[in-house]
């Protein structure tokens, strides 16, 4: 399979990182997982969560992903990426067919119940202003592929993505 950027977008705790790792295990060929939490600790540690910083975060990640794709390695990217414009700019960095946008769709109440890092509890308590899906927007994407993580296991979501590529 040709190298491409598979961009997983969705709310915090929707299952993006878990699906990205499952997809990498199933991928036939060289691939790398670029995860939002990990990137925020290094490459983008100087950025906050303002709309401008979120856009810059996505710009940097899409450039790194493009470098991987151009070298023949599939980049599986797991990022909230809440803004449609930033996702479109990310797509524009790739040739036709190289960028696949996957919406990891999960209702807010389910994400809030999962809350593995306690972020929703803090956001609803007012401790994390600007939290996506709570008091900051998440613009639902016009995605190439949609997976419903409240109805399907992460492995089955990864298999569904592969089947639709």
Q: Is the residue at 132 inside a domain?
A: no
The tally of domains found in the chain comes to 1
**Strand 145-148, strand 74-78: pairing:** unpaired
Asked if 17 is an active-site residue, the reply is no
Percentages of the chain per state (helix, strand, coil), in multiples of 5: 40, 15, 40
The parent domain of residue 154 ranges over 5-107+137-164
Q: What is the pLDDT of residues 86-117, one digit of tens each?
A: 999 999 999 999 999 999 999 999 999 998 88
- Among the listed residues 12, 17, 62, 81, the single catalytic one is 81
CA distance 128 to 41: 18
Report the alpha-carbon distance of residue 111 to residue 120 in Å, rounded: 8
Q: Is residue 124 part of a domain?
A: no
Task: Please check whether residue 114 lies inside any domain of the structure.
Answer: no
Residue at 115 is within a domain: no
Dihedral angle sign, alpha carbons of residues 69, 100, 107, 84: positive
CATH classification of the domain holding 28? 3.40.50.300
The model's pLDDT over 46-92, given as tens digits with 9 standing for 90+, comes to 887 888 988 999 999 999 999 999 999 999 999 999 999 999 999 99
The answer to the question of residue 48 being in a domain is: yes
Using the structure block, give the residue that is written with the tokens 């600007």.
Answer: 130
* The token pair that represents 74 in the structure block: 């599939």
């Amino acid at each position: 399979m040709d190298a491409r950027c598979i961009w997983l977008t969705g709310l915090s705790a929707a299952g993006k990182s878990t699906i990205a790792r499952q997809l990498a295990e199933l991928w036939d060929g060289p691939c790398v997982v670029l995860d939002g939490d990990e990137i925020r600790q290094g490459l983008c540690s100087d950025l906050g969560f303002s709309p401008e910083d979120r856009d810059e975060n996505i710009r940097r990640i899409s450039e790194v992903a493009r470098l991987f794709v151009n070298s023949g390695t599939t980049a599986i990217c797991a990022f909230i990426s809440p803004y449609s414009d930033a996702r479109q700019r990310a797509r524009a960095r790739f040739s036709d067919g190289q960028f696949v946008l996957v919406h990891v769709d999960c209702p807010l109440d389910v994400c809030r119940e999962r809350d593995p890092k306690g972020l929703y509890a803090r956001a609803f308590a007012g401790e994390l202003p600007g939290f996506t899906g709570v008091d900051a927007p998440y613009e639902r994407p016009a995605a190439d592929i949609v997976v419903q993580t409240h109805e399907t296991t992460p492995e089955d979501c990864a298999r569904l993505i592969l089947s639709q590529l």
